Amino acid sequence: MSDPAASAWHRPADTSVLLDGFHALKHAVRFGAEVTSAVTTDRRATLALADELAPDVRDTLDALLTEVAEDTYRSLVPRPHPTGVAALAVRPSREGNLERLRRTPRSAPVVVLDHPRNLGNAGAVIRLAAGFAATGVVTTGTLDPWHPTVVRGGAGLHFATAVERLAVDELPSGPVFALDPEGEDIRGLEFPDDAVLAFGSERSGLSAELRSRADRLVALPMRPQVSSYNLATSVAMTLYHWSATGGAPPAS
């Protein structure tokens, strides 16, 4: 690597998370991530952005950031971000995530994505879950919820909630409400704070295994002849319904 300022940088491994862009780094720092290396192509501009958008973590970013040449930055990331910022953080342990997901009593639901396929959708869901202070996001199947594209879509908010891949028989306790077009109208239901909210894949819906675990099937209102909502939209509507009918994300 030609730029000695980036000598501490190592490409992500199983225990590392690529934080792609200023906002991903900002959120990761804000929610307690252990950042091992952070680079920027323009230190002054990045700190000015922090002054404007994230003064609460500005001093931390000042201590973390190393300025590197543009070509060095481009060699470190698969898709250069417009902000010219990238970082590596330690991925939370599976054991730690499981402890958070299984802790009782729970004050907010767990979101389950059953065999999701689209990395961007998974990232958008994690961003939503963080915004509603959900207990966590669980994926089943082969998609890694800590894939760099998912983290980019989640804007680094993986560190604001518990994110893990589990088998269906490993799901946290709590009543399972599974979204399905044949289910009860969501508008007539209230979700308890310890609910497990399950969403099927973008292509084939709920798996038979997860459907068999469901305590209730729930349907979102939708105009006839419209096939489906986007996965992240469905999660947003469901979490909003939870918050509007008794659940309450914390104020801070």
CATH of the domain at 140: 3.40.1280.10
Q: Which of 148, 152, 149, 9 is nearest to 67 (CA)?
A: 9
Residues of the domain holding 166: 94-244
Are 112 and 220 part of one and the same domain? Answer: yes
In a domain, 252, yes or no: no
Same domain membership, residue 217 and residue 185: yes
Q: Are residues 56 and 100 in the same domain?
A: no
Q: Please identify, among 90, 106, 127, the residue that sits at the C-terminal boundary of a domain.
A: 90
Residues 6+ apart with CB under 8 A from 13: none
For strands 35-40 and 110-114, give the pairing: unpaired
Tell me: pLDDT of 13 over 80: no
Please check whether residue 250 lies inside any domain of the structure. no
Confidence of residue 190 (pLDDT cuts 50, 70, 90): very high
For the chain, the average pLDDT equals 91
Residue pair 135/105 in contact (Cβ under 8 Å)? The answer is no
Select from 35, 66, 90 the last residue of a domain. Answer: 90
Q: In the structure, what pLDDT confidence band is assigned to residue 42 with cuts at 50, 70 and 90?
A: very high
Sheet order of strands, 85-90 included: 16-20, 85-90, 35-40, 65-67
Residue 72: pLDDT above 70? yes
84 Cα distance to chain centroid: 22
Q: Are residues 70 and 98 in the same domain?
A: no
- Total structural domains within the chain: 2
